[in-house]
């Protein structure tokens, strides 16, 4: 990508992380009216984590989404979960459907993939990655350092460790986590669902989401997908596509999107952490996201806008 002083090239981004200083970063955050929770050791750990994510990565193209988040197109095999692997990504199966199933639809309009050949960002950069690459959202020190340490950065919610509502007693005090949920307890290898996409005004609150969980085990293990409004993470109040997982009830494992080594993305049309549009309007047009999780070959596969191998996003 040609040099563009309106947002840093990938090399400038890496150089800035390499040179980052805790004291200078804290002073800059204070001057801009923001907070910084990470002390110097935690800041150093976060800095090293970012460098490890991008070590040896060759960026072929970069762009900015509608809300200023920067994405870099990197070869599939250089993403965090595949770096150093002796083989490439696994091949997606078709997710099963019942023998008597007809066309699967809810009647609402589907939210399109964020990345398409006909889309350009505000600087004229194509919002589409070359074949063999995927879009990876830049994780910045500004985003990370508002949390106390690296583990806190990986946690599900801004305050606390996260919880599955079916497995946790609801909180009833004022100004705490509020939610509505429905569930089905059944032996399964995944499922298929739709979530309506909204753009709620979070106001003085810090977090809102709509998602589907597939959970089991003791301690609980989950795979999750949906949208969330999380300004403290994505620096936007619009809904963003996300995935999350945990293997021990949100205690010491779990992370969002491609923020650490867990998920392997195989589809270049979706940007994990990127904004979703359009959103539904109360009393007007409704938009939704179709998603499936399917456990096959030791992997939990994610599909969006369909259930065939052509619609897999990764595992």
More reliable by pLDDT, 218 or 242: 242
More confident residue, 32 or 290: 290
For residue 32, the 8-state DSSP code is T
CA 118 to chain CA centroid, nearest Å: 23
Asked if residue 127 belongs to a domain, the reply is yes
Closest CA to 26 of 15, 17, 37, 41: 37
Q: Using the predicted structure, report yes or no on whether residue 285 has a pLDDT greater than 60.
A: yes
Name residue 244's beta-bridge partners: 224, 256
The answer to whether residue 94 is domain-embedded is no
Q: Is the pLDDT of residue 198 over 70?
A: yes
Residue pair 268/158 in contact by the 8 Å Cβ criterion: no
Q: Is residue 214 part of a domain?
A: yes
What average pLDDT score do residues 30-42 get? 85
Residue 91 falls inside a structural domain: no
168-172, 174-178, 242-246: range with lowest mean pLDDT: 168-172
Q: Which residue has the higher pLDDT, 92 or 100?
A: 92
pLDDT of residue 163: 62
Predicted pLDDT at 1: 46
| Long-range contacts at 213-218 (CB < 8 A, ≥ 24 apart) | 213/164, 213/166, 214/188, 214/190, 214/293, 214/300, 215/164, 215/166, 215/167
Q: Region 54-60: what's the mean pLDDT?
A: 94
pLDDT at residue 3, as a whole number: 46
Give the mean model confidence (pLDDT) for residues 248-276. 96
Structural domain including 108 reads 10-82+104-163+187-314
DSSP letter assigned to residue 77: G
- Please choose, from the candidates 60, 224, 212, the residue with its C-alpha nearest in 3D space to the C-alpha of residue 136: 60
pLDDT bucket at 14, cuts 50 / 70 / 90: very high
Q: Return the pLDDT at 86.
A: 87
Confidence of residue 98 (pLDDT cuts 50, 70, 90): low
Mean pLDDT estimate for the chain: 88
> How many structural domains compose the chain?
1
Task: Name the more confident of 84 and 285.
Answer: 285
The residues near 94 (Cβ < 8 Å, ≥ 6 apart) are 307, 308, 309
CA–CA dist 266, 77 (Å, integer):
9
CA distance 306 to 32: 44
pLDDT at residue 175, rounded to an integer: 55
CB neighbour class for 271 (10 Å; exposed up to 12, middle 13-18, buried from 19): buried
| Cβ pair 291, 187 in contact under 8 A | no
Q: Is the pLDDT of residue 203 over 90?
A: no
Q: Give the separation between CA 214 and CA 191, rounded to whole angstroms.
A: 8
Residue 170 above 70 pLDDT?
Answer: no
Residue 89 belongs to a domain: no
- Give the E-state strand segments of the chain in sequence order: 61-64, 70-75, 109-110, 133-137, 190-196, 208-216, 221-229, 240-246, 255-256, 287-296, 299-304, 312-314
Residue 160: the pLDDT is: 53
């Amino acid at each position: 990508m040609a040099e563009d002083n309106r947002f840093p090239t990938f090399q400038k981004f890496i150089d800035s992380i390499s040179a980052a200083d805790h004291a200078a970063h804290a002073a800059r955050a204070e001057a801009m009216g923001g907070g910084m929770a990470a002390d110097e050791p935690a800041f150093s750990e976060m800095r090293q984590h970012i460098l490890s994510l991008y070590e040896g990565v060759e960026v072929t193209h970069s762009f900015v989404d509608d809300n200023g988040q920067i994405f870099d197109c990197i070869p599939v095999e250089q993403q965090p979960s595949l770096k150093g692997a002796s083989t490439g990504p696994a091949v997606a199966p078709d997710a099963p459907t019942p023998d008597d199933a007809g066309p699967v639809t809810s009647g609402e309009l589907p939210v399109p993939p964020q990345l398409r050949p006909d889309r350009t960002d505000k600087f004229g950069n194509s919002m589409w990655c070359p074949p063999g690459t995927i879009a990876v959202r830049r994780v910045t020190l500004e985003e990370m350092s508002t949390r106390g340490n690296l583990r806190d950065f990986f946690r599900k919610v801004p305050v606390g460790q996260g919880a599955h509502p079916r497995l946790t007693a609801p909180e009833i005090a004022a100004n705490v986590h509020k939610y509505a949920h429905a569930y089905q307890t059944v032996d399964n290898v995944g499922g298929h669902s739709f979530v309506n996409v909204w753009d709620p005004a979070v106001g003085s609150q810090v977090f809102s989401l709509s998602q589907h969980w597939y959970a089991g085990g003791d301690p609980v293990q989950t795979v999750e997908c949906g949208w969330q409004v999380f300004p403290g993470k994505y620096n936007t109040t619009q809904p963003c596509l996300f995935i999350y997982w945990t293997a021990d009830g949100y205690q010491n494992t779990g992370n969002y999107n491609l923020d650490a080594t867990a998920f392997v993305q195989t589809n270049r049309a979706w940007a994990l952490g990127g904004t979703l549009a359009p959103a539904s309007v109360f009393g007007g047009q409704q938009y939704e996201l179709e998603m499936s999780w399917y456990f096959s070959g030791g992997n939990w596969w994610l599909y969006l806008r369909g259930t065939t191998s052509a619609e897999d996003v990764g595992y």
